[in-house]
Structure 1
C-alpha cells in the first residue's frame, strides 16, 4: 500500500532543538546533581511537549526529537552518534585512542582519515579555522573497544519508546519513529579487541539489533542513521576511485542488513547524508554513485539530503533510477545548513519534482538532516512550518 493516499505526508530526520530545561537536566544528571527519577520526569514532559509542537506545526510522522540522545550544548553535531557510548559495554576511554587516527590510504586498501584531515576541510582550511561553526566538534574524547562489546542500553531505549508511545496517544500524529545508529557509523570508535574491521562491524550489528528490535516491537518506525555511507568519501585521503569506495563500504552495508534481518522492513527507514556540519561540501560524493547502494539496504523508506545547494539538483537522478515496488522516498525539501527559511512555494515545487519521477504516492516531505544543534530553535520551528505549508500546496495540486 502506498504511504500517501490523499496527500503528501511530512516528517523530519530526527534531531530537534533541545529546550534549556532539558539541556540543563542532562548536565545536572551527568554531574550527579539530579536524581534519575527526576530526570526521567523532565524527559517525559519534554518529549510530550515536542510531539505536540510537531503536530501543531503540521508534521505527520513525528518523533521524540531525539531527546533521549543527550545534549548539554546548544550546538552539537554529534549527539546522534555519541549517545551510543553510554549504551554499549566493552568501551573505555584510553589515553592512546585519538578519534579517527590519520591513516594513509591507497587504491583498493582504503582507511578513514580524521575529521581534521578530510578533503573538504583541506580545500578551505582558512574558512574552517576562522569560523568555528563549520568545524565538527563532537566530544573531547572517544572510547575504544577494549573487550567484547555488548548492549547495555535496555533502560534507555525503553525510556525512548515509553515516552514517544505515550506522547503519540491522542496526539493526532500519523505515526512515530525513533532514530538509532548504524553499525558502520558506530564502528568509527577505536578497536583494541577485534581481529578485523569486519569482525568489529558485525559485533556492532549484534549490539545494535537489540535497540532496533525494542523500537519496532513497540510498533514504532526505526530510522537508521548512517552518514558513514556517503560522508566517508570525504574522509579518505587521497580521493579513491568510486568503485574502490563502493567496495570499501560494502562491509558496512552487509553488517546493517545482517542487523535488520529480524526487523520488519515496513517499520524501517534509512537516512543517508553527507555530514551535518556547515561547510562548503565540495568533496561530497555525487548521489548518482551511491543511490543503488542505498537502495540495497533492507528498508522501506529512504531519507536523503535534497534541499541544500550541493544536492538540490540531484532529484533528476531518479529519472534513471527505479524505485523498487513497495518502497518510498523521504527527500529533504528544507535544509539544516542555512538560516534562510525556504518559501512554502519552493518546498511545494521540490516535492512535485520528486513526485514527477517516483509518483506522488511514494514521496514523504522531510528535512535534509536533523535541525537540533544545527540551527536556532526559532528558525527550526519556522522551517518545519514552511515544510508542512509547502506539502499542503503540493497536495492541492497533486491529489
Structure 2
C-alpha cells in the first residue's frame, strides 16, 4: 500500500491554558513587556509543533500562529497597513499591529476621517472567528516584511521539525479586503456585478508572494500551503479567471505549493483547482465528501491529494470505519500520493480533552478536541499502513471509536421522544410563527405604551464584567458561595447598572447581564440536552475566547431562565428594561451541534424553549424583549444555491420564538460583524420591531443596503465600536447619526453602541455612553424631534 503522510492546515493559538489571552491582556495593561509577549508566542509555537510531531504528523505547520489575527499578520507581511496606522515612524510594528486591531486612542485625527479607528472586523466565512478586514485603495502599494515568518521557520527547523508554511493565498487575501470608501461597489462586484478594484491589485501583490516563496524555500520550508477557500464560493468570472495566471507565476518560485480549500465543495471549480500548477491540493472531505471520487479522477497523478477527513470544526469523535470506507476507494483509484488531514485549521475547536476530567464519561467518549484529532489522523495513517507491527494499536483505536459511536446512537442522554413530537407539531402548525398584527399596528401600540423620545437611546445588553463579578461567579462554581449569597451579589450588580443608566439618562435600560458568563453558555446551562466543558476555549478574536456548549441531545427548557432577573431589574426603575435572550440560530451556531439529526430540527427545539421564555417575560410585565441573532448571517451556506433552504428554517426559528408576544410588546434583535446586505429580505422576514446592528467601523456603510431595500421596521445602527478602548467624542457620534438619518427616516432610528459592553471597563463605558446620549440629544434638537 502507498505511503500516506499526515499534516494539518493549522492549530489553535491560544494555548492549553489560554496563555496567549492572558499575556495579551497583561501587555495591553502595561504589565508585560513587548519582548515577554513575543517570548510567550515563541513558547506556544514550540509546544504546538512538538505536539504535532509527537502525534506522528509528517510536517509541522508554521505561519498559522498570530498574536491577534492571521489576516492582520498578512496585512503587515505585505506592508499594506492603512496610512492612519503608519504613525510617525517611532512606533514598533507590534504597536501598529495592535492599533489596527484595537484602534489608536492617542491618534485623534487623520486625513481619512476615521480618527484612529480600528479596522473593520467581520466573520471568517461561516465561522464565529472574526478577522480584521484589510483596507485597500486604488493607490495601495505592497512591501514585503517577512522577517517574523522567516524567524518562525528557523525556530521550527532548529527544533528538528519538517516544515510546511501556511499562508493565505493571494486571491483570498484580496477578496477578504475592501476598497476604502467603495464598500457598496465592492459588494456589488463580489456578487458578479461591477468592476472590482480589489482584483486590480493582484498584479502588484503577486511579485511579493513570489519573492516570499523563494525566501521560504531557501529557509528550508519543504512545502507552502496557500489557503484559497474562496474557491468554495460562487466566484465572479473575473476572479476565477485570475487563478491560472496567478498560480503560473507563483509556480516559477520552485516551491512545492499545496493549494488548500475548505468549508465548502468546489463544485464548478473542481477542474480549475485540479489543473492549477501546484504540487498538491487539500480539500475538505467533511463538507465536500461527494467530490472525492471526481477529485481522484481529475487530479493528475504527480500531484498530492490531501484529504481533510477529520472534522476540524466540530468536536465529535470521527467514525473511523466510515472514514476508512471513504478513503479506501480513493487510495485504490489514485496512483499519486495521498495525505490525510483535518478538514480545516483546528483553530475552531478546543485544545485537549485532557483538561476535561469532570465531563460525563459516556459523553466524553464521544468527543475529540484538537489533540485527539491529531491522534485520529495517526490511527487512520496506521490503519492504512502495510506494517503488521502496528496493526494491534490501530485495532484498539478503531474498537474504541466503534464503541463510542454505538453508545451515542442508543444513549437515553440523547433522545426524548415526547419532546421531539411536541416540537415537530409546533413547527408544522399553519401560523405559530407570525405576530398577530402588521408592524405599523404594533408600532402604534408600542409607542403608546413606551412613550419613548425620538432617537431613543439604549445599549445592546451587557455591562462590564468586572473582576468582582467574575470572582463571585468563580467562587459560586467552586462551592465557596451559597446560591443565596451569589444571587444577592448579582442583584447588587444589577442595581448598580440600573443606577448608572438612570444617571446617564438612557431611555431604555438593560439589567447588565452580571449573572451571565456568556450569551450562549448561560442559556445552555439551563436547557436540557447541553453539556459544558471547564476549559474548552476557542478563539473568537484577539484575546476574546468563548467556550461553546455541546448540544448532544434533545433540547427543552425545564424552568424559566431569565424572568427573575428581569423582574428585579424592572422593579428598580420606571423606565422600560429590556428582557435579554439569545436567539435559537445563534445558540445553534455558537455551540458544537449534534450531527446525528438535521440542524433545523435542533434549531426548532431551541426555538420552542425561547418561545416559552418570551411568554413568561411578557406575563411578568416586561414590555421590550430582545432576542439576539448575531449569527444569522454567519450560518448562511457559502453556496448561494443553499441559501433559500437555510434562511427558510432559520427565520422560521426566530419567528417561532417571538410570535407568542402580543402586539404591545416590542421585540428587538441584534446582529453584528457580518455583511447583511445580501440577506436583507430574510432579515425583514424576522419581523422584529427593532433591529440593532454593528456599523461604526464601516462608518454606517451597512445602512446603505437597508435604505436601498427600504427596510420597513426600526433600526439602531451602532455609533461606536465597543471592541476598542477608544472613547469617541459626541460630535463624531452625531456625525454618524446625521449620516444614518440621510438614508433611514429619523423616526425609525435608535441610538446604541455596536455591541454589548461586557469586555469594557466602567470608566470608558460611562464616558462613551454619555457622549452617545449627548449626540442623540443634539440630533433631536437639530431635527426638532422630541
Measure the CA separation in 2 of the matches of 1:360 and 1:93.
44
Aligned match of 2:529: 90
Q: Give the secondary structure class of the aligned counterpart of 2:572.
A: helix
Q: Give the secondary structure class of the aligned counterpart of 1:334.
A: coil
1:231–1:273 contact (8 Å) kept in structure 2 = no
Pick from 568, 578, 583: which aligns with 1:182?
Answer: 583
- 1:5 CA drift (Å): 6.6
- 1:251 CA drift (Å): 1.6
Measured against aligned partners, the alpha-carbon deviations of 1:69-102 in whole angstroms (never above 9, x if no partner) come to 13xxxxxxxx11111121101223589xx89xxx
Segment drifting more, 192-201 vs 17-26: 192-201
Q: Give the secondary structure class of the aligned counterpart of 2:711.
A: coil
- 1:247 CA drift (Å): 4.0
Pairing 1:32-47 to 2, within 5 Å after superposition: 32-47=479-494
1:151–1:207 contact (8 Å) kept in structure 2 = yes
State whether structure 2 residue 198 is matched by structure 1 residue 198: no
Aligned match of 1:227: 630
Q: Give the secondary structure class of the aligned counterpart of 1:329.
A: strand
State whether structure 2 residue 771 is matched by structure 1 residue 382: no
- 1:152 CA drift (Å): 2.8
Going from structure 1 to structure 2, the CA distance change for 1:153 and 1:330 (only over 3 Å counts) comes to: farther
Measure the CA separation in 1 of the matches of 2:530 and 2:752.
34
Aligned match of 2:677: 288
Measured against aligned partners, the alpha-carbon deviations of 1:230-288 in whole angstroms (never above 9, x if no partner) come to 2345xx6xxx24453454343211111122221235421111112xxxxxxxxx43x32
Give the count of matched residue pairs: 333
Measured against aligned partners, the alpha-carbon deviations of 1:76-133 in whole angstroms (never above 9, x if no partner) come to xxx11111121101223589xx89xxxxxxxxxxxxxxx77xxxx9xxxxxxxxxxx6
Aligned match of 2:650: 252
Measured against aligned partners, the alpha-carbon deviations of 1:314-358 in whole angstroms (never above 9, x if no partner) come to 22224322232xx31111111112222122112112222223333
Aligned match of 1:15: 462
Pick from 733, 737, 744: which aligns with 1:347?
Answer: 733
Measure the CA separation in 2 of the matches of 1:330 and 1:42.
32
Residue ranges of structure 1 left out of the alignment (5+ in a row):
71-78, 100-114, 122-132, 275-283
Aligned match of 1:73: none
2:585–2:653 contact (8 Å) kept in structure 1 = yes
Aligned match of 2:568: 163
Segment drifting more, 330-339 vs 362-371: 330-339
Aligned match of 1:217: 619
Aligned match of 2:708: 320
Measure the CA separation in 1 of the matches of 2:776 and 2:550.
42
Pick from 599, 610, 613: which aligns with 1:208?
Answer: 610
Aligned match of 1:273: 672
2:627–2:670 contact (8 Å) kept in structure 1 = yes
Measure the CA separation in 2 of the matches of 1:331 and 1:93.
34
Larger RCO: 1 or 2 (CA < 8 Å, sep 6+): 1
Q: Give the secondary structure class of the aligned counterpart of 1:12.
A: coil
Aligned match of 1:80: 519
Measure the CA separation in 2 of the matches of 1:254 and 1:308.
30
Measured against aligned partners, the alpha-carbon deviations of 1:185-215 in whole angstroms (never above 9, x if no partner) come to 1223344486322111111111111222222
State whether structure 2 residue 545 is matched by structure 1 residue 137: yes
Measure the CA separation in 1 of the matches of 2:768 and 2:660.
36
What TM-score do the two structures reach when normalised by structure 2?
0.40
Q: Could you say which structure has the larger radius of gyration? A: 2
Measure the CA separation in 1 of the matches of 2:533 and 2:690.
38
Residue ranges of structure 2 left out of the alignment (5+ in a row):
1-443
2:629–2:669 contact (8 Å) kept in structure 1 = yes
Aligned match of 1:371: 757
Measure the CA separation in 1 of the matches of 2:544 and 2:467.
22
Pairing 1:96-175 to 2, within 5 Å after superposition: 134=542, 136-139=544-547, 142-146=549-553, 148-154=554-560, 156-169=561-574, 173=575, 175=576
- 1:151 CA drift (Å): 0.6
Measure the CA separation in 1 of the matches of 2:707 and 2:726.
29
Going from structure 1 to structure 2, the CA distance change for 1:192 and 1:10 (only over 3 Å counts) comes to: closer
Going from structure 1 to structure 2, the CA distance change for 1:380 and 1:242 (only over 3 Å counts) comes to: farther
2:695–2:702 contact (8 Å) kept in structure 1 = yes
Going from structure 1 to structure 2, the CA distance change for 1:200 and 1:382 (only over 3 Å counts) comes to: same
Measured against aligned partners, the alpha-carbon deviations of 1:358-378 in whole angstroms (never above 9, x if no partner) come to 3222111011111112x3332
1:85–1:91 contact (8 Å) kept in structure 2 = yes
- 1:20 CA drift (Å): 3.2
2:700–2:740 contact (8 Å) kept in structure 1 = no
Going from structure 1 to structure 2, the CA distance change for 1:7 and 1:249 (only over 3 Å counts) comes to: closer
Measure the CA separation in 2 of the matches of 1:391 and 1:358.
15
1:349–1:394 contact (8 Å) kept in structure 2 = no
Q: Give the secondary structure class of the aligned counterpart of 1:137.
A: strand
Measure the CA separation in 1 of the matches of 2:633 and 2:563.
30
Going from structure 1 to structure 2, the CA distance change for 1:26 and 1:5 (only over 3 Å counts) comes to: closer
What TM-score do the two structures reach when normalised by structure 1?
0.76
1:242–1:289 contact (8 Å) kept in structure 2 = no
Aligned match of 2:688: 299
Going from structure 1 to structure 2, the CA distance change for 1:149 and 1:318 (only over 3 Å counts) comes to: closer
Measure the CA separation in 1 of the matches of 2:481 and 2:737.
45
Going from structure 1 to structure 2, the CA distance change for 1:62 and 1:246 (only over 3 Å counts) comes to: farther
Q: Give the secondary structure class of the aligned counterpart of 2:579.
A: strand
1:219–1:267 contact (8 Å) kept in structure 2 = no
Aligned match of 1:277: none
Going from structure 1 to structure 2, the CA distance change for 1:243 and 1:395 (only over 3 Å counts) comes to: farther
1:194–1:200 contact (8 Å) kept in structure 2 = no
1:183–1:208 contact (8 Å) kept in structure 2 = yes
Measure the CA separation in 1 of the matches of 2:496 and 2:582.
24
2:700–2:739 contact (8 Å) kept in structure 1 = no
Measured against aligned partners, the alpha-carbon deviations of 1:12-35 in whole angstroms (never above 9, x if no partner) come to 111110233322221111111111
Measure the CA separation in 1 of the matches of 2:515 and 2:687.
25
Aligned match of 1:332: 718
